[in-house]
Amino acid sequence: MNQPKHRSTAPLLAVTSIALGLGLAPGSTHAEDTSHPGVGQGEVRYQGAPSGIDAAQAKDQNTGAPQMTAEEFAQAKKIFFERCAGCHGVLRKGATGKPLTPDVTRARGTDYLKVFINYGSPAGMPNWGSSGELTEQQVDMMARYIQIEPPLPPEFGMKEMKDTWKVIVPPAQRPTKKMNAFNIQNIFSVTLRDSGEVALVDGDTKQIINIVKTGYAVHISRLSASGRYLYVIGRDARINLIDLWMEKPDNVAEIKIGLEARSVDTSKFKGYEDRFAIAGSYWPPQFVIMNGDTLEPKKIVSTRGMTVDTQDYHPEPRVAAIVASHEHPEFIVNVKETGKILLVNYADIDNLQVTEIGAARFLHDGGWDATHRYFLTAANKSNKVAVVDSRERKLAALVDVGAIPHPGRGANFVDPQFGPVWATSHLGDDSISLIGTDPTRHKAQAWKVVRTLKGQGGGSLFIKTHPQSSHLYVDTALNPDPKISQSTLVYDLKDLARAPVVLPIADWAELGEGPKRVVQPEYNKDGNEVWFSVWNGKDQKSALVVVDDRTLKLKTVIKDAKLITPTGKFNVYNTQHDVY
């Protein structure tokens, strides 16, 4: 194998010039991670999640220069999929990170790249070597690896999907009526991230109904229009269909729709309730329409294509959020890297009609306004929120907001001064943007940021309220300050000028050691309780904390050894009816 001529002793000042040489932007201004210069810890944690792709599945395209042993190549490939692909893309064409294709990297050379990998950059590249994450030998290995053509993960088509498809309980053998005494509408589906499960928790009794095996790190839970079926999708692209009518709700079907994924939803338009499901994958970049009661795959559509701004071809545009329209028999599909929003009409899937709306790049998550007509979605690295009029089937606006908006589904309420608004918090700064959503009675305020609230800090993942509540909750789970990441902020919607209240959620949980990140406030059906996950390490105690929304006092703490790394929670009624 090739060895470098000498060990680089370049000073840290060289990092900035290298970053600029690679076309990287100046450093961000949000809370800085001392181990990753120039980038906030929240963004590092968020963007640095490992890919769900098994590195061993990727096909090698070794061009022979520079040389690597087979063992080195296998190790480098594994490191790249686990630590780099989330930002730079599986094909290294660039996603939220810059391109690392051989035409860029070979021109720089091994020694040059080693400094970049070792020390990082002001634009957000982690200092993999100087932080101790990679050894000196691994840094050298990765510098050579990224000069070789990237290995290709396998495609995943209809044959591969059907090979994984299982109908555990056929529809004809399922209950014809609800067979349990649970208040299904107040069940919570709780992601147990590191155990590959969801916990179904009774919102009335606070007892665990069942722990259901799912894919790894379930990203979201979605409900069928009838409220009977619960769909969950893991980062490993496995979908599980859970029948809530069973005596003990459990899996009735499952399928893998790719190698890595984030999104699933079901048909909600009148006359199509529960008929179809849709899921989108990160790899391969595509979405699939399935039968709603069996998950049988029916139609696969690729999302590869041109970017909305430069009109350049992108081979890896990942499918982010998907929502079901209330106005037409359509799914609304966010395509992340190309910045396109697709309206997928499922009235005739054999003659599928897809309407393309140009928005802004790096589309991520979002939700409906209170009328369920307008879909507001974050284009996170563009620092914008796109507004889609689902009735007229067109883009209504692009709204400039703070740094890296991350709303989850967002929060709808009536601002005392500006009328109906939808709110998002941010990963990259401490702002909370309130966007006017009423173009009829408050036309002057529509699709503008009418008010900006100041939060505890960056690193927010979710913001939440409820029609029956007068409070707005904002988490900061990825903030580097433990006092901030372990608490939540509560605003009084009747008096937004009043200082918000800080609730010490993690302290209330009394868990002992661990990061104890407090994440995703979620209301119960009646809107008088708010549930929080206290997300600890895999081998540490975690909990669910329930707060009385009227008094902002602790109501109960749910602890159980089976609650391993709880993160997202989804109340059946609120998720079914898009209440947020």
Q: List residues with catalytic annotation.
A: 84, 87-88, 125, 364, 406
**444 DSSP 8-state letter:** G
110-119 and 136-145 helices, crossing angle to 10°? 120
CA distance 449 to 164: 46
Please report the DSSP string for 310-373 in residue order. T--EES---EEEEEE-SSSSEEEEEETTTTEEEEEE-TTGGG-EEEEEE--SSEEEEEE-TTSS
Contact assessment for residue 42 and residue 462, using Cβ atoms and an 8 Å cutoff? no
* Cα→Cα distances 356→347, 395, 435, 570, Å: 17, 10, 24, 30
Which ranges constitute the DSSP H helices of 22-69?
A: 41-47
Residue 253 in tokens: 């079907």
Sign of torsion over alpha carbons 30, 34, 38, 40: negative
3 state DSSP class of 482: helix
CA dihedral 505, 510, 511, 514 (to 10 degrees): 60
Sign of CA dihedral 100, 101, 103, 107: positive
414 burial type by CB count under 10 A (0-12 exposed, 13-18 middle, 19+ buried)? middle
- CB 184 within 8 Å of CB 230: no
- Residue 324 main-chain phi, psi, to 5 deg: -100, 125
Which residue spans within 438-576 are E strands per DSSP?
A: 449-454, 463-464, 471-475, 488-492, 501-503, 517-523, 529-535, 543-548, 553-558, 566-571
Both tokens of 496, joined, read 């937004």
Q: Are 326 and 367 in contact (CB under 8 A)?
A: no
CA angle 438, 407, 322 (to 5 degrees): 85
Crossing angle for the helix pair 110-119 and 13-21, to the nearest 10 degrees: 120
CA distance 335 to 571: 26
| Strands 471-475 and 463-464, sheet pairing | antiparallel
b/e burial code for range 211-240 (CB count within 10 A of at least 16 → b)? bbebbbbbbbbbbbbebbbbbbbbbbbbbb
Q: Which residues are bridge partners to 290 per DSSP?
A: 277, 297
Cβ atoms of residues 167 and 252 within 8 Å? yes
CA distance 180 to 243: 11
Reported in sequence order, the residue ranges of 203-249 that DSSP labels E, i.e. its strands, are: 208-213, 218-223, 229-234, 238-243
